[in-house]
Structure 1
Amino acid sequence: MSGKKILYLCDYPMDLIGGAEKSTATMAKAMAANGYEVAILAENSLNKDTAFDNIRLYQFKKSANKYIQVLQKAHNALKYIRKFKPDIVHIQFAQYSYVFLLLKKFHLVKSKIRIIYTDRHYFEAYNDRYKNMYRSYSHYFNDVICTTENNKNCWKQAVGDNETPRLHVVQNVIEDEWFEDSTDKRNLIRNENGINDDTLVIGFVGRYVDWKRWDTVLDICERLKGKNIYFAVCISNPVGSNENSELNEYISKLEKASEGRLICRMNAGKEIMQQMYAAMDIFVLTSEFESFGRTLVEAMSKKTVVIATNSGGAPNVVGNEKNLFPVGDSQKACDIIERYEDKAILDEDKQAFYNRGKDLFSENNMISKMIKIYEMER
C-alpha cells in the first residue's frame, strides 16, 4: 500500500455509541491495518483508556461556548496538521467541515493536502446556513463521500456540474465479526425469558431522543396487544446515566403496553447488543430521520428482518419498499410485522437481509472503496 498519512477529524468522542462514531472507528482501524499511517483528532473520550492499535489518537477538551468551539477546532486542526503532516485530511462530521472550509478560504491549509469530507448527515436536513455554505464553498473539498445514494443525489443537485468536489457513495459498515454465527447469542436471551421459536420477538434500538420517535414504538406495542409477541428494547440515555425519570417512566409505559412481555437493556455494550439483535426476529427503525441507520445493518448481521421509516437514507439501506412505512404510521408498521407471522416468509427474508448486509455493508466492501478513493489523484 502507499503508506499515505490520513488524519481523521471528528466532532465527538470516539467512544460514543452512535453509528457515525462506530463507522469512523471501523474505517480508521481498517486503513491502519492496510498500510496507511492513521491519526484521529477528536473530543476527549468518555473513557480515558480509549485507544486504538496502530492509530494516534489526538484529543481535546471541548469548550461549552459554541463560538469558542469553532476557534478551538480550528486551532487543533492546524496544530495537528503541522504535527502529523498528513497527505489526506478526512473530515467525518459537519461541524469540522464548517471549520475546515473557513481555513481553506483563508488559505491556512496547504493546497497539496487532499481534503475529503464524509457527510454522515443528510444534505436536505441541514439548516440554511450549512446548505448555503456547502453550495458556495464545497469546491474546497476534493471529494465528498455520502453514505447513501439518496444523499449523493442531494449533493449533486446542490453543487451542480462543478469539477470539485467529486461525489462518491461509501456506506457505513460494521466489523466482519458481526456476521459470525449467532445461534448461541439468540438462544441465550430467548431461553432466559422462556421464549420459544413460535414467538415473534420485535426489537427497537436507539437513544432516547425525540427524533427517534419512541412514541411510535409505544403505539406499535399497544396495537400488537394480545398477539404471541415479545418486545426487545435497547435504549440509551443521552445523558449517559440510568438515572432519568422521564426515561424510566417511558419504560414503565412500554412494560404496560407489552403486557409484561418486554426485555429491556439500557446503555448496553456491544456484547449485549449483539445478543439482543440475535434474539429478535424483526427490527423496527421508527426514526423521523436517519442519514443512514447503522442499527439496520447490525440487525441484518444477526439474520433479523428489518423494517424502517421511509425517510432519509434508511430506504437505501433496507432496499425493499415493502418494508418501509411513513414516519409515525404505527398501523402501517404493524401491517408489515403481521406479514411475518408466516414463518416461511420470515425465514426467507431473514436470510435475504443477512445476505444484503454482508454483501453491501461489510468491512471488506468499505475497505476496497476507500482505498480506491484514497489512491485517486487530487
Structure 2
Amino acid sequence: MKKIMLMCDNNLQTVGGEQESTKIIINGIKDKCNLFVVQPGDFVSEGVTSFKITNETRIKHLIKKPIVFFKYVKSVIKIVHYVKPEIIHTQAQVSFFLIALLKKLMIIRDVKLYHTERGLKNKYNLFFLKLFLFSFKNTDLIVTTTEYNKSSWAKELEKKKIQVEMRVIENTAGPIFEIYDSSKKVSPDELVIGFAGRYAEWKNWRLAVDIIKSLREQSNYIIKVFLAIGALDDKAVLESKKLIRDFEKIIGANNVIGKINISLEEMNEFYYRINYFVLTSKKDTESFGRTLVEAMSRKVVVMTTYAGGAEEVVADSLNTMSEPDDFARRILYYNENIQSFERKTQENFDRASVVYSIKNNISKHLDIYSIGEENNEA
C-alpha cells in the first residue's frame, strides 16, 4: 500500500482546526494506506505509525529554542529517510516551510509534497508571503478549503509565474455533527440567535451586540442570545465576560446564555438551542468558517458578513451583509415567515450533509493520494 506521511505543527490531542481536520483524515484513510504521523509530542492511534520527537506539543514552542528545534529538524530528516513516504502532506505552515526547504536543498528526495493551506493570503505579512511563494516552488499540490481561498492564492501564483496544481477539499464539522437528533431542536417559534468564535479583534464581536440592539429596536419579540466564546488568555476571559454583560444590558440577563471555552460536545448542544447563527468576522478574514457548517448541520439559518470563504459556505447572497439593521431585518423575516424558515434550514442541513460531509472530505483526500482505485481492486 502507498506510504502517506501527515505532518502537523500542533499535537493532535490539543484543540484547533488543524488538529480536528487531521484526525478526520487519519480515521478516514488509515485502513487504505500505510499512514505515518509526524508531530510535536505523542500520538497513539490504531493503524497509524507515529513518532514522538519531543515532549512539547506545539512547534512554535520549539522555534523559541533554536537548539531544540534543530534537533527536531534532524529527527524529521531521519524519519523521512527511514520511512521513504511517497507523499508528505503538511497540515500547517512551519512543517510546510521545513519540508519545502529540505526538498529545495535536496536533503529529502523522491517524495511529493502536498500542503493544505487554511489561511487567507491577505492575512500574511510580506515576509511570510515571500516564504510561502518560495515554498510553493517546491510543492506538488496545494489544497484549500474553499474556492475563494484557492482563487486568492492562484492569482498570486500566476502573478509570480509559479505553477502548482491546486485542489479544493471542503472542511467538515466532524463526526459529532453527522447525526441529527430532532428531539433536541428548539421550537422554530423562538427567536434565539447564536454567536460563536474566538475573542479576537477580527471576529468583530461589536457587530453582534449591534445586531441585537437593532433587533430590540425593530421588534417586541422575546429575544434570546446564546454565546460561545473562545478565550486564549486571562485578558480575553475578562473581555468575554464584559461582552456577555453588554448583551444582558440590551435584552436582560435571563435571556442571555454566555459560555467561555466550551467543549465540542457542548457546542453541539449550543447549535440545537438556536434558530439563527451569525458570523460577524471582518471583511476577508475567514478562509472557511467551520462554525457555519456546524450550525447548518443542526438546521439553523446561517448568515455572514463579507468575511471571505464564509460567504461560499453560506452560499446565499440574501444572507450575506454587513450592517446590523440588515441582519436584524433578515432574522425578523424568517421569524415571521415559517415556511421560508423551514425551507432554508432544510437547505442548510442538506448542504452540510453533502458538501461538508466526512464522506466527501475523505473521498477527495483518497483521490489526491490516488489510492481509491487500489482500494477498490483490493
What TM-score comes out, normalization by structure 1 length?
Answer: 0.86
SS at match of 1:224: helix
- Equivalent runs, 1:92-103 vs 2, <5 Å: 92-103=91-102
Equivalent residues of 2:190, 2:275 under 8 A apart: no
In structure 2, distance between residues paired with 1:77 and 1:250: 44
Q: Could you tell me which residue of structure 2 aligns to residue 193 of structure 1?
A: none
- Cα distance, 1:185 vs structure 2: 2.9
1:236 Cα deviation after fit: 1.9
Residues 51 and 184 (structure 1 numbering): CA distance in 2 closer, same or farther, change over 3 Å? farther
Change (3 A) 1:158 1:64: same
8 A Cα contact 1:19 1:293, kept in partner = no
Question: Is the aligned partner of 1:347 residue 2:346?
Answer: no
1:147-179 CA distance string (max 9 Å, x none): 111111122222229684211111111335413
Alignment of 1:72-91 (within 5 A): 74-91=73-90
Alignment correspondent of 2:332: 338
1:287 equivalent in structure 2: 281
How has the CA–CA distance of structure 1 residues 5 and 201 changed in structure 2, closer, same or farther, with 3 Å as cutoff? same
Identity of aligned residues (%): 27
Cα distance, 1:355 vs structure 2: 0.7
- Between the aligned partners of 2:48 and 2:206, the Cα distance in structure 1 is 41
1:106 aligns with 2:98: no
Q: Separation in 2 of the partners of 1:58 and 1:105?
A: 24
Q: Contact 1:170 / 1:366 at 8 angstroms: preserved in 2?
A: yes
- Residue equivalent to 1:121: 119
1:141 aligned to which of 139, 142, 151: 139
Specify which of 260, 266, 278 is matched with residue 260 of structure 2: 266
How far the C-alpha of 1:183 sits from its partner, in A, is: 1.8
Q: Partner residue of 1:175?
A: 174
Kindly indicate whether the alpha-carbon contact (under 8 Å) linking 1:73 and 1:96 is maintained by their aligned counterparts in 2.
Answer: no
- 1:14 match: 12
Paired residues for 1:222-371 under 5 Å: 222-225=213-216, 226-239=220-233, 244-260=237-253, 261-288=255-282, 289-326=285-322, 329-341=323-335, 342-371=337-366
In 1, the alpha carbon distance for the partners of 2:177 and 2:12 equals 19
* Residue number among 3, 11, 24 corresponding to 1:5 in the alignment: 3
1:335-373 Cα shifts (integer Å, max 9, x gaps): 322221122111110000111111101011111111111
Root-mean-square deviation (Å): 2.5
SS in structure 2 of the partner of residue 339 of structure 1:
helix
CA distance in 1, matches of 2:8, 2:343: 39
Contact 1:143 1:164 in 2 (8 A): no
Distance 2:306 2:197 in 1: 17
Shift in CA distance, 24/148, structure 1 to aligned 2, threshold 3 Å: same
Secondary structure, counterpart of 1:38 in structure 2: strand
Name the count of aligned residue pairs: 357
Q: How far apart, CA to CA, are the structure 1 residues paired with 2:363 and 2:70?
A: 35
* Counterpart code for 1:299: A
Equivalent residue, structure 1, for 2:210: 219
- Any stretches of 5+ residues in structure 2 without a counterpart? 372-378
Output the CA distance in 1 between the equivalents of 2:117 and 2:73.
19
Q: How much does 1:84 deviate?
A: 3.5
Q: How does 1:38-49 map to 2 (within 5 A)?
A: 38-44=35-41
| Distance in 2, Cα, partners of 1:293 & 1:131 | 22
Q: Distance in 2 between matches of 1:201 and 1:51?
A: 41
Contact 1:73 1:99 in 2 (8 A): no
Q: Which residue of 2 aligns with 1:54?
A: 47
